[in-house]
Amino acid sequence: MTRYVIRRLLWVVVLLFLVSALTFVIFFVLPSTDPAALRAGKTRDPEVINAIREQLGLNKPKIEQFWIYLKGIVLHFDFGHSYLNNLNVRDEILSRLPATISLSLGALVIWLFVGISVGIISAVRRRSLMDRAAMGTTLVMISAPVYWLGLVSLLLFSQGIGVIPIFPGSGSYTPLSEDPWKWFTSLILPWLVLSAAFAAIYARILRANMIETLSEDYIRTARAKGLSERRIVLGHALRSAITPIVTLAGLDLGVLLGGAILTETVFNIPGVGRLSYDAIIHGDLPTVQGTVLFGAFFIVILNLVVDIAYAYLDPRVRYT
C-alpha cells in the first residue's frame, strides 16, 4: 500500500507540471488580455507601459517566465504575484480557501445526506408515489443551472430582496472565526443551491445501484437466513452500492475545493472560485495558474483518498 501511495504521489507531481504548462500555453496562444496594457489603463505612454511590463516580468522570454514560475513553486511554494493587484497569489488563495472549504464541505454533507437517504428510500420503495415524486424532483434539480437556482433562491428567500426573507443573501458571508452563527446562516442558501444538483444525481445513481444490488443472490440468501430488512439494506446492499458514490464524492469535492465559481459569484462569497472568475475575466495568468493548480491538486489527492477508501469499503480491492 505504501509503495502504491508513493507511486501515485509522484504521478501527482507530473500531472501538476503538465497542468501548469498547459495553462501557460493556453494563456499565450489564445486571445487574452495584455496585462501590462491593462494595468496601464488609459495611458498611451510607452515608457509607462514598459515600466509595468518590467514590473510584471513580462519583458522576459516566455520560456524564462515559465521557468521562473516553476522555480518559485518548487523552491519557495511561491505562485507569483497577481497581474491585477500585485497580491501574492499563494496568500490570496490560502486566505480564500476557508470560504471555499466552508461552502464545499457544508454542501457535501447536505448532498450526501439527502442523496443517500432519497436513493435508499426510492430503491426500497420502488414505484411508490414517494419514489416517483423524488425521482421527478431530482430531474428538475439536475436540469436547473446553479446560477439560475441561485438567483431564484435569492429572490425568494434572501433578506432584503426576497419574497420570504428568511436567510441572509448575497454578500453576507462571514468567516467562521468572526461569528460562527452568522457564518452558518450566511451559508444556508449557498449550501442548498450548490448541493441541489449533486444530491439529485447521487440519489438517482444510488437508487439504480441499490435496485441492482437488492436483486443479487447474496441478498436473497441473507433474507432466507432471516436477517432483518434494515440489516440487509444498510449492512449489505448499501455497502456494495455506495462504492461509485464514494468515487464521485471524492472527485466532486476536489472540483469544488478548486472553486465553486458560479455559487461563489452569485452569492458573492470571497472564495477561490470568485478569485478564478475575476482572474479569467481579466487575463490574470498567475492567479489563473494558481487556482488551476490548487484545483488539480485537490482533485488528484481526493482521488487518491477515494482509491484508498475502496480498500476498506470493498474487501476484494487490494493495492500493491
Partner 1 sequence: MYRSSVRAAAGLIAMLALVLLVAACGGNGGSSTSASTAGGGTTTTSGGGSGEVGQPVTAPPDNAKSGGTLTVLSAGDVDYIDPGLAYYSFSYQALQPTLAPLYSYAPGDPSTPMPILADGDPQISNDGKTITVKIKTGFKFSPPVDRAVTSKDVKYAMERAFTKQVPNGYMSAYFGNIEGVKAFQDGKAKDVSGIETPDDQTIVFKLTRGGPVVGALVLPVTSPVPEEYAKKYDAQNPSTYGQHQVSAGPYMLESYKPTRSITLVRNPSWDKDATGDPRPAYLDRVEFQEGNEDPNVASRRILDGESLVSGDFPPPPALVKSTVQGAKKDQIQFNPGAGTRWVSMNTQMKPFDDVNVRKAVLAVFDRNAMRLTRGGPLIGDIATHMLYPGVPGFEEAGGMKGPGNDFLANPSGDPQLAADYMKKAGFADGKYSGPPILMVADNSGVGAQGALVAQQQFEKLGFKVTLRQVTHDTMYTKYCNVPKANVQVCPNVGWIRDFADPQPVLDPTFNGKNIVPQNNSNWPQLDDPQINAAMDKAEQITDPGERAKAWADIDKMITAQAPLVPWLWDKFPTIQSANVAGVNALWNEGSYDLAYTSLK
Question: Applying CB under 8 A, which residues contact partner 1?
Answer: 31-34, 37-38, 40-49, 51-52, 54-55, 84-87, 92, 127, 132-133, 135-137, 139-140, 143-144, 151-152, 154-156, 160-161, 163, 169-171, 265-266, 268, 270, 274-275, 277-278, 281-283
Q: In whole angstroms, how close is the CB of 99 to partner 1 at the nearest point? A: 10
Q: In whole angstroms, how close is the CB of 105 to partner 1 at the nearest point? A: 21
Q: In whole angstroms, how close is the CB of 115 to partner 1 at the nearest point? A: 17
The smaller minimum CB distance to partner 1, of residues 15 and 144, is found at 144
Q: How far apart are CA 272 and CA 261, in angstroms?
A: 8
The smaller minimum CB distance to partner 1, of residues 54 and 216, is found at 54
Three-state SS letters, the chain: CHHHHHHHHHHHHHHHHHHHHHHHHHHHHCCCCCHHHHHHCCCCCHHHHHHHHHHHCCCCCHHHHHHHHHHHHHHHCCCCECCCCCCEHHHHHHHHHHHHHHHHHHHHHHHHHHHHHHHHHHHHCCCCHHHHHHHHHHHHHHHCCHHHHHHHHHHHHECCCCCCCCECCCCCCCCCCCCHHHHHHHHHHHHHHHHHHHHHHHHHHHHHHHHHHHCCHHHHHHHHCCCCHHHHHHHHHHHHHCHHHHHHHHHHHHHHHCCCHHHHHHCCCCCHHHHHHHHHHCCCHHHHHHHHHHHHHHHHHHHHHHHHHHHHHCCCCCCC
The smaller minimum CB distance to partner 1, of residues 18 and 139, is found at 139
Judged on CB neighbours under 10 Å (0-12, 13-18, 19+), 249 is buried
The smaller minimum CB distance to partner 1, of residues 173 and 254, is found at 173
Grid cell at residue 111: 448532498
The smaller minimum CB distance to partner 1, of residues 33 and 243, is found at 33
Q: In whole angstroms, how close is the CB of 316 to partner 1 at the nearest point? A: 33
Q: In whole angstroms, how close is the CB of 132 to partner 1 at the nearest point? A: 4
Q: How far apart are CA 221 and CA 187, in angstroms?
A: 46
The smaller minimum CB distance to partner 1, of residues 81 and 236, is found at 81
Q: How far apart are CA 88 and CA 80, in angstroms?
A: 6
Q: In whole angstroms, how close is the CB of 226 to partner 1 at the nearest point? A: 31
The smaller minimum CB distance to partner 1, of residues 91 and 229, is found at 91
Q: In whole angstroms, how close is the CB of 249 to partner 1 at the nearest point? A: 25
The smaller minimum CB distance to partner 1, of residues 55 and 240, is found at 55
Q: In whole angstroms, how close is the CB of 311 to partner 1 at the nearest point? A: 37
